[in-house]
């Protein structure tokens, strides 16, 4: 049973560029959430996708956008990268109908470095 998979694992981008991160949820899950984790901090919620719609959004600027595909996989896009966007980006999947109580499982993360 495949868990949550993310790609790529590491990425180096230049300030001002755009980046796309990808996530495939755990088998049987239909909801994908994205989190940003800076060094020494807990993960911060970016947004959640359910039924191909953004269901909830955290306190992140519009430079952060996403998409969910019919097969439940998801992409996170960040435009106009800033040095402060350097972080570990985590994808978590859960079962959507009860996502306010459901356990969420994380992928291995994408380490983004902006130079």
Partner 1 sequence: QKEVEQNSGPLSVPEGAIASLNCTYSDRGSQSFFWYRQYSGKSPELIMSIYSNGDKEDGRFTAQLNKASQYVSLLIRDSQPSDSATYLCAVINSGYALNFGKGTSLLVTP
Q: How far is the CB of 48 from partner 1 (least distance, A)?
A: 5
Query: In terms of CB distance, is 48 or 74 closer to partner 1?
Result: 48
Q: How far is the CB of 1 from partner 1 (least distance, A)?
A: 15
Query: In terms of CB distance, is 60 or 65 closer to partner 1?
Result: 60
Closest C-alpha among 36, 25, 42, 44 to residue 110 = 36
Tell me the CB-side half-sphere exposure of residue 111, using CA atoms within 13 A: 3
Which positions ≥6 away from 68 have C-beta within 8 Å?
32, 49, 50, 51, 52, 53, 74
Q: How far is the CB of 16 from partner 1 (least distance, A)?
A: 28
**DSSP secondary structure letter of residue 66:** E
Query: In terms of CB distance, is 4 or 78 closer to partner 1?
Result: 4
> Which residues of this chain interact with partner 1, rule CB under 8 A?
31, 33, 35, 40-45, 48, 50, 55-56, 58, 88, 90, 92, 99-101, 103-109
């Amino acid at each position: 049973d495949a868990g949550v998979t993310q790609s790529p694992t590491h990425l180096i981008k230049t300030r001002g560029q755009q980046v796309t991160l990808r996530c495939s949820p755990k088998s049987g899950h239909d909801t994908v959430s994205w989190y940003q984790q800076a060094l020494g901090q807990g993960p911060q919620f970016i947004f959640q996708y359910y039924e191909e719609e953004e269901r909830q959004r955290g306190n992140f600027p519009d430079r952060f956008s996403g998409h969910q595909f019919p097969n439940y996989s998801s992409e996170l896009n960040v435009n106009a990268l800033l040095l402060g966007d350097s972080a570990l980006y985590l994808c978590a999947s859960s079962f959507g109908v009860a996502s306010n109580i459901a356990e969420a499982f994380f992928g291995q993360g994408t380490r983004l470095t902006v130079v």
